[in-house]
Structure 1
Amino acid sequence: MNDLEQGQYEDERFMRLHNCISYIEKERYNISGWMLFEIPVFYSHCFYNEQTQEAFDLAVWDIGEVIPRYLDSASNEQDAKTIQDAINKGYSDFMVE
């Protein structure tokens, strides 16, 4: 874990996931009920809440740079200011129950 926190871990997939977790912690967002739904491309981490059927993405373009994102009604990725903003603006009708 120390290597991850210092940015010295060799596998960038773990570094990007660690960046997401650190971002969620830094923003003090309550992640209870949420799961990492998928990682469709290397930079995108999609989170989903089955109970509320809400979703948000965290993009890690460069190691250490995390950007909340959402899919709009045309399934285009859009940046958001916060995780809650991404949830509010996101289009969740594509999710499977």
Structure 2
Amino acid sequence: MLTIGNDNDNRGCGLDFRSITKGVIQLNTYYHSLYYFLDKEFLSTQEAINHLGISKQGFYSLVERGKITRVRKGSAVLYFRREIEKQRKERRQNRYRT
């Protein structure tokens, strides 16, 4: 059994290779599901602009008027995908109104 610990200490720290591998797999699964959630529910600034097909100035105007919510965590800035899709739908409907 592979143990991790001081070479002079035969007891190790009680962790074997299998438990470490299992922990790493669980952590990778957690990060993968978190990444999937963020990708599914949020858009970056550039993704939102591209999705709406408008200029940066037009996009930031929508944000400043409260039409789109900005979510910040540290230096990360994200926008709710549903709000962007709602704006896109409204823009399309307004375009074809007579």
Q: By the TM > 0.5 criterion, same fold?
A: no
Q: Name whichever structure is richer in strand by fraction.
A: 1
Q: Name whichever structure is richer in helix by fraction.
A: 2
TM-score range normalised by the length of the shorter chain? under 0.3
- TM-score, with structure 1 as normaliser: 0.28
